[in-house]
Amino acid sequence: MRKLLLLALALAPVLAFSQGFQVNLEGQKQIGMGHTGTGILQDGASVFFNPGAVAMLPQNYVQGGISPLFFKSDFNPSGTSIQDRTANKIATPFSFYAAWGPKASFWKLGLAVYTPFGGLTDWGNTWQGKYVLESLDLKAIYFQPTISIKLADFISVGGGFVYNRGSVDLTQAIPLANSSGQPGQAELKGSGKGYGWNAGVYIKTEAGITIGITHRSQVTTTIPNGNAIFTVPGSLQSSFPQPNQFSSTIPLPATNSIGFGFYPCSKWILALDVNVINWDVYKTLSFDYTKNTPALQDTHSARNYTDAVSLRGGAQYKAKDNLALRFGGGYASTAVMDGYVTPEAPDANRVYGTLGLGYTMAKHLDLDISFEYEHLMQRTQTNNESQLSGTFKTNVYIPGISLAYHW
């Protein structure tokens, strides 16, 4: 029992470390082109994709978008024909960008507000893994002021400071039944903050190819006063003192990217991005609880994640002066080793495809829409700690829309 209860407390920040919660939905033009944007210059979303390119923008931008995310996962417990499924919940990752500089200046200022991590998962309170997870609501919002400088006509650099504000609400059953036979429940709620930076360089080559290189730093996020709320039989309440709090420090990983843009003619843009995400910083998850009892001790849980790689490609075709068609796709490797897969984000190697459309509604106003389908490879696992054993099958569906005003 003690092991399961400690695990319940250890789960909350795990969700921030799964590849499945790195949502990568920071720009509709870029999504439509397979999430490429490091080596091409499209709009104000370059504040995120490559701050070094922002100074090359021919205009100023204010834009915002949203990408409702439908996460569908099935779980088949080992040795059974049962199919547990997540409920129909919709997460809402969003982005906002502003880029401004005097006309013909060598510099621009930028501001980005976006959600690089997030998730909304609900398995219900009757499924096979209810003692591991019932529901999860995660939000992580990054604020990034940026400056970009054009050093010459062919090269520009830029960088920004990052402030992260995140929140989590997780519920999980506890194997302690009351007089009615209902299990207990733990709810873990908390918010935290962290700081980081990013930088990039953008190059126009004599061959007409554009190149971007970026680094987004590790953002160490601290949850100082998370609340641990327990519903247990009255006879055991002294083992789970209320109110109670926990603290933890979470290193969200750095990302290194290189991207290329190709322009075979005036109507076509082709793009390729390669990303390396330094998940290897996540070796152990530790928690310090304000009030301890023999049943409730501080925890130190091994995770041993590894670096992950994603390959992205995409294209844009200018069908008319006011209409652009986009498509793309990619592959992302999982950071989660065998034995560490959890139902918060049942991660696996994945492939995805995207489509997009851009329409100029007026001289200074653009409408962009996108759609993404992700397929995670089927993965059969037994978790080392919880011993939850079975096969996960997961698909993700993500429409998106944005408006951009430029002048």
What CATH number does residue 357 fall under? Answer: 2.40.160.60
Q: Regarding predicted confidence, which is higher, 309 or 222?
A: 309
Q: Regarding predicted confidence, which is higher, 202 or 247?
A: 202
Query: Both tokens of residue 234?
Result: 């009255």
Confidence category of residue 8, pLDDT binned at 50, 70, 90: very low
Distance CA 39, CA 34 (A): 13
Residue 9 has a pLDDT of 41
Confidence category of residue 11, pLDDT binned at 50, 70, 90: very low
pLDDT at 105 over 80: yes
Distance CA 203, CA 53 (A): 8
Confidence category of residue 287, pLDDT binned at 50, 70, 90: confident
Confidence category of residue 4, pLDDT binned at 50, 70, 90: very low
Q: What is the mean pLDDT of the chain?
A: 90
pLDDT at 21 over 90: no
Q: What is the mean pLDDT of residues 156-161?
A: 97
Distance CA 95, CA 141 (A): 9
Q: Regarding predicted confidence, which is higher, 363 or 248?
A: 363
Residue 194 has a pLDDT of 94
250-259, 339-348, 356-365, 388-397: least confidently modelled range: 339-348
Residue 270 has a pLDDT of 98
Q: What is the mean pLDDT of residues 308-320?
A: 97
Residue 18 has a pLDDT of 41
pLDDT at 333 over 60: yes
pLDDT at 65 over 90: yes
Distance CA 319, CA 304 (A): 48
Q: Regarding predicted confidence, which is higher, 345 or 193?
A: 193
For residue 318, the cross-strand partners are 324
Q: What is the mean pLDDT of residues 69-92?
A: 93
pLDDT at 284 over 50: yes
Domain count, the chain: 1
- pLDDT above 90 covers a percentage of the chain that reads 65
* Host domain of residue 368: 2-406
Which residues, other chains included, contact 325 with Cβ-Cβ below 8 Å and sequence gap of 6+?
Answer: 316, 317, 319, 356, 357
pLDDT at 247 over 90: no
3-state secondary structure labels for all residues of the chain:
CHHHHHHHHHCHHHHHHCHHHECCCCCHHHHHCCCCCCCCCCCCCHHHHCHHHHHHCCCCEEEEEECCEEEEEEEEECCCCCCEECCCCEECCEEEEEEECCCCCCEEEEEEEEEEEEEEEECCCCCCCCCCCCEEEEEEEEEEEEEEEEEECCEEEEEEEEEEEEEEEEEEEEEEECCCCCEEEEEEEEEEEEEEEEEEEEEECCCCCEEEEEEECCEEEEEEEEEEEEECCHHHHHHCCCCCEEEEEEEECCEEEEEEEEEEECCEEEEEEEEEECHHHCCEEEEEECCCECCECCEEEECCCCCEEEEEEEEEEEEECCEEEEEEEEEECCCCCCCCCCCCCCCCCEEEEEEEEEEEEECCEEEEEEEEEEEEEEEEEECCCCCCEEEEEEEEEEEEEEEEEEC
Q: What is the mean pLDDT of residues 327-350?
A: 91
This prediction has a pTM of 0.90
Which phi and psi angles does 47 have, rounded to 5°? -55, -35
